[in-house]
Structures are given as C-alpha cells and as structure tokens.
Chains A and B, each alone.
Chain A
C-alpha cells in the first residue's frame, strides 16, 4: 500500500464545475503539499499546509491531521486548470524528502 494515496486518478469535468481531489496518507507528517504539473513537466507548488485550510484564488486546500486526509478544491473550473495535481507529504521523521502521491489527471472541457 502506498503511503500517499490520491483519488480519483483521472477526472474529466465541464467548465464551471466544482472539483475535489482527495489525498490520504498513512505516515506522520510535518506538512502536506499540493502541486500542479502541466504537460511538459514543470511543477508548481500550490499549497503547503500543516493544519486547517488555505485559499488562493479559486483554489482551496484543507487538511484534517487526525484523519490523515487532505482535499484540494477548484471552484468555477476552467480549461486552463487542466493538469496533473499531486499531493506530497513531508514525513515527520525525515526533513529531507517528500513522499509523493501518484497524481490526479484533471481535464476540464469547455
């Protein structure tokens, strides 16, 4: 079993829909990261959070430390949101590397 599990693996939605991507992890963490990877490879850090909720524009990330679960929400989705969204955690017993989820491929159709 992977230490970081994301769902769904693939998601196709219509423009304007509310999107939710989930991440569950099985290790103790000091922080959880949501990242976005566009075709071609470049990775952009969206959020780093260790508790509660963060919002940036149309993106919202929440984390429940007790349940070891995080969600990434996109409101009023747009075709330019199409990308792979990756959840990664910083394990609390190691400051040196991230443990990555497999990613969620999101396609937003116009």
Chain B
C-alpha cells in the first residue's frame, strides 16, 4: 500500500500564476482534506472533499479551489498566486469522518517568487 501520495514534491511559481497540486489517498479511503502549513506554523485547514463534493471549508479565499475524482483522488488549485501562498501543502486521507485515523502525504512545497 503506497499510502497517501502527493505530487509534485516541490514547485516554484511566479506571482499571479496558477498551480494545481495532486493527492492520491490511501487505498480504501474516500475522504481527502487539504492543509496549508506556513514555515514555522501549524497546518491550517483549507477544505475537505467527500463523494466528489466540498464538504467543509476553512478560512481561505475563493482563489483556492479543489476537486475530487470518482477514484477519490483530489486536486487543489490556487489561482492568482501571491507570495504569501508559499507554504507546504499537505493532503490527508481518511474514511469519511475525520475522527477516524488520518494518513498524511509528504506534502508539496510551493514557493511563489
């Protein structure tokens, strides 16, 4: 079992560009959550997808959007990148409810220049 896989591992983008990050959940998991972790801080919840729909959203602007595919994999899209979007983006997969154990990917390190 490959666990949760994220791609790419590192990415450099220019301010104003758009980026797409990808996450494949652990086998059998149907729920994907995305987090943003700025340097030296704890992760901040962006949103969660279940059954191909956004189920809950944290305090992030509409520039952050996502998608979940029928195979439960997920994408995080960020438009009009700002320097402040530079962070580690973590994907977590679980079974429907977050109070079942969540498994995390290695993250995608996004640098906006």
Taking Cβ atoms with an 8 Å cutoff, the residues of A that contact B are 30-31, 33, 35, 40-45, 48, 50, 86, 90, 94-98, 100-103
Which of B37, B41, B56 contacts A97, CB < 8 Å? Answer: B56
A95 to B88, CA, bound (A): 24
B42 touches A43 (CB 8 A): no
Taking Cβ atoms with an 8 Å cutoff, the residues of B that contact A are 33, 37, 41-45, 48, 55-56, 58, 88, 90, 92, 97-107, 109
* A42-B42 contact, Cβ under 8 Å, with A94-B56, A95-B97, A98-B98: no
A90 to B55, CA, bound (A): 16
Given A48-B99, A97-B98; 20 other pairs, CB 8 A cutoff = A33-B101, A33-B102, A41-B88, A42-B104, A42-B107, A43-B43, A43-B90, A43-B104, A43-B107, A45-B103, A90-B99, A94-B56, A96-B33, A96-B55, A96-B98, A97-B45, A97-B48, A98-B45, A98-B102, A100-B43
**Chain A nearest CB: distance from B107 CB in Å?**
4
A35 to B105, CA, bound (A): 13
A31 touches B99 (CB 8 A): yes
A39 to B44, CA, bound (A): 18
B88 touches A96 (CB 8 A): no
A101 to B42, CA, bound (A): 6
A44 to B104, CA, bound (A): 6
**B residues less than 8 Å from A96 (CB atoms):** 33, 48, 55-56, 98
Offer 10 A-B interface pairs, CB within 8 angstroms, sorted by A. A45-B102, A48-B101, A86-B42, A97-B33, A97-B48, A97-B58, A97-B98, A98-B102, A101-B42, A102-B41
